[in-house]
């Protein structure tokens, strides 16, 4: 159950993905995702020794990186 503070912050609405899930979604290696996280290009939350990436930030990153060829 969410606390009032979590509900107010919207954290209850955020879907977090593992590095492996992000890599599969972007069709890149996990190392590429780690590089993006460590460089700050892809915001993430550290949970223990692993990272969780908000799904919306993955979509935003891909949208920002997309360009039309030709």
**pLDDT number for residue 56:** 96
- Give me the tens of pLDDT residue by residue for the chain, a chain 70 residues long: 455 555 556 566 889 999 999 999 999 999 999 999 999 999 999 999 999 999 999 999 999 988 877 7
> Which two three-digit tokens encode residue 61?
């990153």
Tokens of 42: 């892809």
* Whole-prediction pTM: 0.77
Q: Is 6 helix (H, G, I), strand (E, B) or coil?
A: helix
CA distance linking residue 59 with residue 56, whole number of Å:
5
What residue spans define the domains of the chain? 14-65
For 63, which DSSP code?
H
* Residue among 19, 64, 16 at smallest CA distance from 38: 19
Quick one: pLDDT at residue 24?
97
**pLDDT for 13:** 85
Distance CA 61, CA 49 (A): 23
């Amino acid at each position: 159950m969410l606390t009032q503070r979590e509900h107010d912050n919207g954290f209850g609405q955020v879907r977090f993905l593992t590095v492996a899930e992000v890599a599969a979604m972007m069709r890149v290696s996990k190392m590429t995702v780690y590089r993006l996280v460590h460089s700050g290009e892809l915001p993430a939350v550290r949970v223990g020794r692993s990272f969780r990436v908000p799904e919306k930030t993955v979509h935003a990153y891909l949208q920002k990186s997309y360009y039309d060829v030709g």
